[in-house]
Structure 1
Amino acid sequence: MTGPLDDDELMALLGEAVAEEAAVSDRRRTAAKAAFTWRSVDAELAELLHDSALDAGAAVRSASGGEPRTLSFGHSGLTLEVEIDGETLLGQVIGTGSAASAVEPASVLLERPAAEALSAEADAAGFFRLEGVRPGTVRFMVEQGGWSLTTPWVTL
């Protein structure tokens, strides 16, 4: 077909593509469904509140400056603060208002696209530690007392 398609032609092509199920793996089909259903992603992702790599002098600092990088994210009454120093990540989950449950500890998951996730349980004060954190793209998922925080993907 050449030229723009009308709605009926487009729906027919989409129907043909869907009918070819065998060419699409279950993993990709599940990911596509999840991407479609998570249409409110911007409203649900935590906001990056601070990144020390973006501070005014970070551009003149050398890549091997040796200073730890700090990140801070906030959403749904939870704040996640992390400091990355080499392959060690120290963090704290801070609850505000009724979001934090003093009785229930926070669980933290560090996801990476091409590697196994790392997880930790925060102590009573919200502190946690992860070892073996390598440079690359990551995101954090925090759950505490029925509240959750998911960060956007960042590059460490």
Structure 2
Amino acid sequence: MLRDDPGWESDEVLLRELRAALAEERDVPEHLLQAARAAYTWRTVDAELLALTSYDSILDAGLAKRARAAQTARQLVFDAEGFSVQVEVTEAGVAGQVLPARPGRVWLLTATGPVEDAELDELGMFLLGPPPAGPVRFRCEVDGRTVMTDWVCV
């Protein structure tokens, strides 16, 4: 029914048409659900996730006791297939290295977006200022490859 057709002036006719349109198919077809799930899994295809798999100094019980007593740095290592981000977090800032060493860039991210970024030197090293309170992650772009670490509270 077109808007110029007689009957559209009545709310009852409009509601009847809307009801009929909505009643046609109440369930989302399974093939659309599968396509939506597949599209969702590809949302981060350009940014591989580096998991905190190797080392977190705060989880090392003996070192954690000494760190609390001496206020030493926290060390984190994030690894993925052939790629590693190693960081040391102190009150003064974040020092890190991306391996294998290649030119690139690293960003310190919070839930609200990038806080700071730095260029990687020839050894893959970088320096950033003190991280803000709350969860952070690192995003690295090296040789056209983008990787992001897990979120971690530092």
Which TM-score applies when normalising by structure 1? 0.63
Q: Structure 1: where are the runs of 5+ without partners?
A: 1-7, 12-32
Matched, 1:71 2:76: yes
Kindly name which structure, 1 or 2, has the bigger radius of gyration based on alpha carbons. Answer: 2
- Residue pair 1:68, 1:84 contacting (<8 A) in 2 also: yes
CA shift, 1:40, in A, is: 7.4
Opposite residue 154 of structure 1, the aligned amino acid is: V
Specify which of 92, 95, 117 is matched with residue 97 of structure 2: 92
> What secondary structure sits across from 1:82 in the alignment?
strand
> What is the number of residues matched between the two proteins?
120
- Residue pair 2:139, 2:149 contacting (<8 A) in 1 also: yes
- Residue pair 1:83, 1:90 contacting (<8 A) in 2 also: yes
Please give the root-mean-square deviation of Cα atoms over the aligned residues, in Å: 3.1
CA shift, 1:81, in A, is: 0.5
Opposite residue 37 of structure 1, the aligned amino acid is: Y
Which TM-score applies when normalising by structure 2? 0.64
CA shift, 1:115, in A, is: 6.0
Task: Please name the residue that 2:121 is paired with.
Answer: 123
The correspondence of residues 1-156 of structure 1 with structure 2, limited to 5 A, is 9-11=26-28, 37-38=40-41, 44-48=48-52, 49-57=54-62, 60=65, 63=68, 65-95=70-100, 102=102, 105-114=103-112, 116-156=114-154
> What secondary structure sits across from 2:61 in the alignment?
coil
1:59–1:79 CA distance, 2 compared to 1 (3 A): closer
1:77–1:148 CA distance, 2 compared to 1 (3 A): farther
CA shift, 1:148, in A, is: 2.5
CA shift, 1:70, in A, is: 0.4
The CA distance in 2 between the partners of 1:155 and 1:132, in whole Å, is 13
- Residue pair 2:90, 2:130 contacting (<8 A) in 1 also: no
